[in-house]
Chain A
C-alpha cells in the first residue's frame, strides 16, 4: 500500500520534472538560436550586450537564478505561478548554453556555401532556412541532447521555489513518513534511467548522422 502510493507520487514528480524541463528546453532552443545569431552577427551594441548576458547567466547557479526570478519578478509587478516561473528559469538557464552550441556550429559553417546560395539568387532568409539551418541543426543536435541531460540534473533547483518535482516528492515523503531511504533510492533510480536514456538517444543520433552523412 505504502509502496504503491509512494510510486504514484514519484511518478507525478517525474512528470513535473520532465514537462518543465522539456518546455524549458524547447523555449531555450529557440531563444538560444536567436541569441547565437545576434552574437555571430554584426549589429554592434546588440552583439556585446548578448555576449555579456551569456557570460553572466552561464556563471549564475540555477538556485540563485530561481530565487532571482521567483522573488524578483513579482517585485517588478510580474506575478506568476511557481510552475510558470520554473519553466522561465530553466529556459533562461539553458538558452545561454544552447546559444553557445548554436554559435559553435554557426562559426563552423563553410562560407563558400553562403556565396553559392547568393550567386544562385537566394535571399538571405531563404538561405538561412534552406541551406544554413538544416546543416547547423544536424551539427548541433548531439550537443543539444547532451544539454538536456544537464537541464534534468539542474532541474531540482525548481524544488527550492516550491514546485513539487521528483526531488521535492522524495523530500516530502521523507518528512511525512520519516523513512528517507525508499523515496530517495527510487528517485535516484528514476533520474539515472532518464539520463541514461538521453545518453542512448544522443549516441544513436550521432551514429545515424555518421551513417548518413559520413561525418559528424
Chain B
C-alpha cells in the first residue's frame, strides 16, 4: 500500500490538475448559481400565480431528479434539438442550473422565515421595491441561510464528481486515470477522497467562521 501510494503521489501533477479543475468548477458554479438564484427566488414569491407556479414546478422537478440525469439530458438531448455545446459548457451549465434550483428554494425558505416587521420597518423608512429587497431583505436572508447554503455548496462539490462521466478532467477523473495506468485503484482513490475531504472541510470551516461574524454583528 505504501509503495503504491508513492506511485500515486509521483503522479501529483495529474492529481493537482484534477484538484484545481474541481476547485474552479465548483467556485464558478457556486457563485453563478447564487447570483442566478436571487431573481429565481423572487419569481418563487411572485404576485402572479402562474409565474409562481411554473417556477416552483421547474424548481421542484430539478430538486427531485439526480444530478447525473440532468447532466445526461443536457449532454444527449440538446444535440437532438440541434443545440451543440462543448462538454465543458454542458457540464458547467448543468451544474449551475441544478444548483440554482436548490439555492433559490433555500433563499425562498429563508425569506419566508424572516419576520415581517423587517419589511414594514424598511417601508416606513422610505425603502421600496428593489432597494428594499437589496438593502433590507437580501442581506438578512443570506446571513440566515448561510449554513444551509454551505451544506448545499458541499453537495455541489460532491455532484461535480459526476462530471467525470462526460470526460471532464476533474479530481475523480484524474484519479481514475492514474489508477488505470498503474493499477493502483485503492491508493489513487484514497488520495482523491482526502482531497475532497479537504475541500468540504474548508467550506464547513468558512461557514462556521461566517456564522461567528454574523453573531458578533448581532444576527442570530
Question: Which residues of chain A have a CB within 8 Å of any CB of chain B?
Answer: 55-56, 58-65, 67-68, 71-72, 74-76, 149, 152-157, 159-160, 167, 170-171, 174, 179-181, 184, 187-188, 191-192, 195-196
Contacts and interface: CB of A to CB of B under 8 A. Distances in A.
Interface stretch (B6-14, B40-48, B135-143, B154-162): B154-162
Contacts of A149: 64
Contacts of B199: 59
A181 B72 CA distance: 11
A61 B154 contact: no
A9 to B, nearest CB: 16
Q: Is the interface of B mostly helix, strand, loop or mixed?
A: helix
Contacts of B192: 64, 68
A174 B76 contact: yes
B85 interface: no
A149 B64 CA distance: 8
Nearest to B67: A153
A188 B66 CA distance: 9
Given A59-B200, A72-B186, A184 B76 contact: yes
Given A179-B80, A195-B64, A61 B161 contact: yes
Interface of B: 61, 64-69, 72-73, 76-77, 79-81, 154, 157-162, 164-165, 171-172, 175-176, 179, 183-186, 189-190, 192-194, 196-197, 199-201
B160 to A, nearest CB: 7
A184 B72 contact: yes
Contact of A61 (B79, B81, B172): B172
Given A56-B193, A71-B185, A184 B66 contact: no
B65 A63 contact: no
Given A64-B175, A67-B176, A153-B66, 14 more contacts: A59-B196, A60-B158, A67-B172, A68-B189, A72-B189, A74-B185, A153-B65, A156-B68, A160-B164, A170-B69, A184-B69, A184-B73, A188-B73, A192-B65
28 contacts: A55-B201, A59-B196, A59-B197, A59-B201, A60-B193, A64-B189, A64-B193, A64-B196, A67-B185, A68-B185, A68-B186, A71-B189, A72-B185, A149-B64, A153-B64, A153-B67, A155-B66, A157-B162, A159-B68, A167-B66, A170-B69, A171-B72, A180-B80, A181-B77, A184-B72, A184-B73, A191-B64, A195-B64
A63 B161 contact: yes
Contacts of A174: 76
A184 B70 CA distance: 9
A55 B76 contact: no
A175 to B, nearest CB: 9
B136 to A, nearest CB: 32
Given A68-B185, A72-B189, A181-B77, A188 B69 contact: yes
A159 B69 CA distance: 11
Most chain B CB inside 10 Å of its own CB: which residue of A68, A74, A196:
A68
Contact of B69 (A62, A63, A191): A191
Nearest to B189: A68
A167 B65 CA distance: 11
B66 A154 contact: yes
B163 to A, nearest CB: 9
Contacts of B186: 68, 71-72, 75-76
A63 B162 contact: yes
Contact of A152 (B66, B175, B185): B66
